[in-house]
Structure 1
Amino acid sequence: MANSPQAKKRARQNERRFAVNKARRSRIRTFLRKVEEAIASGDQAAAAAAVTEAQPELMRGVTKGVFHKNTAARKMSRFAARVKAMGS
């Protein structure tokens, strides 16, 4: 348990930051789930649109420190490859 005033403040800051990051992570996962559902439906146009919508959200998560840059790049690359493969 935090005893010093500095440690107590840090604990409060961590709680707030955790809540904000949790909300951001949840929002990003929603966009990723929409991409997965669009790919599963078999509609390439809808899947491409979902990927286009998800990309800025994912990159915003990177700038806010929720995801690592390489994680976001890997997810976008794999989604793009899967959407491209639907066409053939």
Structure 2
Amino acid sequence: MANSPQAKKRARQNERRMDINKARRSRIRTYLRRVEEAIASGDQTKAAAALKAAQPELMRGVTRGVLHKNTASRKMSRLSARVKALG
């Protein structure tokens, strides 16, 4: 348990950041799920549009420190390859 005022403040800050990061991660997952669903439906135009919407969201996650850069790049690469294969 935090005893010093500084440690108590850090605990409060960590709690706040955790909530914000959880919301960001959830938002990213939602966009990725939309791409997955579009791929499953077999509609390439819909999948391409969903992927185009998901890319900035993934990169925003990298900028905000929620995802590692290589993780986001890997996800984008694999999804774009799957969308391309639909055609």
TM-score interval for Structure 1 and Structure 2 normalised by the shorter chain: over 0.9
1:48 paired residue number? 48
1:32 paired residue number? 32
* CA distance in structure 2 between the aligned counterparts of 1:44 and 1:86, rounded to whole angstroms: 6
* CA distance in structure 1 between the aligned counterparts of 2:10 and 2:24, rounded to whole angstroms: 21
The alignment status of 1:9 with 2:15, answered yes or no, reads: no
Cα drift, residue 40 of structure 1: 0.2
Stretches of structure 1 lacking an aligned partner (at least 5 in a row) = none
Query: Once the two structures are aligned, what percentage of the paired residues are identical?
Result: 82
Runs of 4+ in structure 1 over 3 Å off: none
Stretches of structure 2 lacking an aligned partner (at least 5 in a row) = none
Cα drift, residue 13 of structure 1: 0.3
Give the partner amino acid of 1:50: A
Q: Secondary structure at the match of 1:81?
A: helix
RMSD over equivalenced CA pairs, Å: 0.3
What is the aligned residue count? 87
Give the partner amino acid of 1:29: R
2:20 paired residue number? 20
